[in-house]
Amino acid sequence: MAEIQLEGVSKSFGNVKVIDKLSLAVNSGEFVVFLGPSGSGKSTLLRMIAGLESIDEGALLIGGERCETLAPGQRGVAMVFQNYALYPHMSVRENMAFGLRNIGLDRASIEQRVMDAARILEMEELLERRPSQLSGGQRQRVAIGRAIVKEPKAFLFDEPLSNLDAALRVRTRVELAQLHQRMKATMIYVTHDQTEAMTLADRIVVLNNRRIEQIGTPMEVYLRPATRFVAGFVGSPGMNFLKGHVDDGAGPKVRLSDGSEVPLAGNGLAAGSYEIGIRPESIHIVSKEETGAQDQGLARAKAGVVERLGERTLVYCTLQDGTRLIAQDSGRSGVRPDDDIWLGFDTQAMHLFNPSGEALHLN
């Protein structure tokens, strides 16, 4: 295990800068996920750590050793790619042992490492099979096993589950989490899938437009997004965004674009216009009985698509001024398309963003 440090690293392809003076520290034994949309630089950053892309500026330290000028094989890291890249004519055992034979490791040590990796991945019974006899998930485990036998300082994963179907992705994701718990190894994982990031990471590094938007635990990123980009990118379905205005003397309230006034949790907010963010689970459908007991903080809307997901119901609705929102109701919701409904807001879960997209945390 080893700490990985990036100090002011930059990378350009021609005149296009894809990483701009980025600094980051990954702790020894930590599982860190690079999360971001396509083109955000996450895979390039991983390849820079692996030595598959050069670093134009800055320093890379792995286990305290400067590594930015070292060849990939000298950095002590092992990479697992999206494409398994297994040799089809070799057995699982031979695929896992191939790299060790190339560096001249003795036969007994190779066999020991292969068997140890097979036990960790619970695939001893697969060692004599060829890749064509394996499922997609099993092939990915072989690719991971090929990395484990190298006994690296750190593991680098470049979207390793994207070629798997949905059900297999879930199972393999659990296996990866269990693998990290057993090995306590330093792992960096690249994905654009927020579910993978939320379920696997000790910390998430959200990347966008050549820079880091936020670093935090999964729940820190989800509950206290640092920017509007993070708020909109993390969460499924995405966060709702509305225009709002705080007036002088209005107290801790925000006036939404349809004229509804919603109380705010917290004080000290200057008067002015803001963008309000609130997740669907923090907007609830208020029953007719409840509307009589609540004379403020509600907004009138018309239900559109009603998406029934079993344990919850998502209601795609429209405020009176045309603003579209997604609200959440119970799995047994009686809401139907074209119903007139009232929406209540969990004011503790509201997020405010200034014109530059920075979050304003009131509590």
> Tens of pLDDT along 207-259?
998 889 999 999 999 999 999 999 999 998 989 999 988 876 556 788 888 88
Contact 284, 346 (CB under 8 A): yes
CATH 2.40.50.140 intervals, the chain: 240-360
pLDDT at res. 136: 84
Lookup: tokens for 12: 């350009």
The β-bridge relationship of strands 211-216 and 203-208 is antiparallel
At residue 176, φ and ψ (nearest 5 deg) are: -65, -40
Mean pLDDT across the chain, nearest whole number? 89
With pLDDT > 70 as the criterion, what percentage of the chain qualifies?
Answer: 94
pLDDT class of 71 with cuts at 50, 70, 90: very high
pLDDT at res. 337: 96
Record the pTM: 0.88
Q: Tell me yes or no: is domain 4-227 CATH 3.40.50.970.
A: no
User: What mean pLDDT do residues 156-181 have?
Assistant: 85
CATH 3.40.50.300 intervals, the chain: 4-227
Determine which of 135-139, 154-158, 163-167, 172-176 has the lowest per-residue pLDDT on average.
163-167
Q: Positive or negative, the Cα torsion across 179, 184, 190, 193? A: positive
pLDDT class of 291 with cuts at 50, 70, 90: low
Q: Is 29 left (phi over 0), alpha (psi -120 to 50) or beta?
A: left
**Could you report the per-residue pLDDT of 317-341, keeping only the tens digit for each?**
999 999 999 999 999 999 999 999 9
With pLDDT > 90 as the criterion, what percentage of the chain qualifies?
Answer: 58
Interhelix angle 166-183/136-148, rounded to 10 degrees, is 20
**Does position 140 have pLDDT exceeding 80, yes or no?**
yes
**Does position 277 have pLDDT exceeding 50, yes or no?**
yes
CA-based angle 188:4:67, to the nearest 5?
115
Question: How large is the C-alpha radius of gyration of the chain?
Answer: 25
Closest CA to 28 of 249, 197, 238, 184: 184
Considering the four listed CATH numbers 2.40.50.140, 1.10.20.10, 3.40.50.460, 3.60.110.10, the one that applies to the domain covering 240-360 is 2.40.50.140
pLDDT at res. 170: 86
